Amino acid sequence: MDIRKIVKTAFPDYKGRKIKLAASPVPQKLDSYWSDGYRNYWAFVRLSDLAVLPVHSNHPGYEPNQPRTLRELPDGFALVCRTYSGVNQYVRVWVSEAQPVRQSALPSSQVIATV
């Protein structure tokens, strides 16, 4: 699976070049609201058919019943996070370990360091 295809599926309007394939454990909290000058938007992508499940806005003060925690990423899924930080934006992708993802499709100048 190509990382660009995953990003375009999750966020079709993303035109940026900053994409990071995150090798670290998936985030535990999927908070999606403005805080300290940035906001994350989250989406799950089922890799078998590229179906997208966006994560609803989930501010703990205004929407306390919205789910916001994740223990582990299920096999066959990618978690994609689009971050707005001032005028900058970038995308991070976590993929279940059972799924190989080609990062070579991105020129090295377009990849934020993999962590």
User: Could you tell me the residue ranges of all domains in the chain?
Assistant: 3-110
Q: Mind giving me the DSSP string for 63-74?
A: -TTS--B-S-PP
pLDDT at residue number 115: 33
Q: Read off the pLDDT band of 50 (50, 70, 90).
A: very high
Q: What is the C-alpha to C-alpha distance for residues 41 and 54, in angstroms, rounded to an integer?
A: 8
Q: What is the dihedral of CA 85, 90, 94, 100, to 10 degrees?
A: -170
Q: Read off the pLDDT band of 114 (50, 70, 90).
A: very low
More confident residue, 114 or 17: 17
pLDDT at residue number 110: 47
pTM, to two decimals: 0.80
57 pLDDT more than 60? yes
Percent of the chain surpassing pLDDT 90: 37
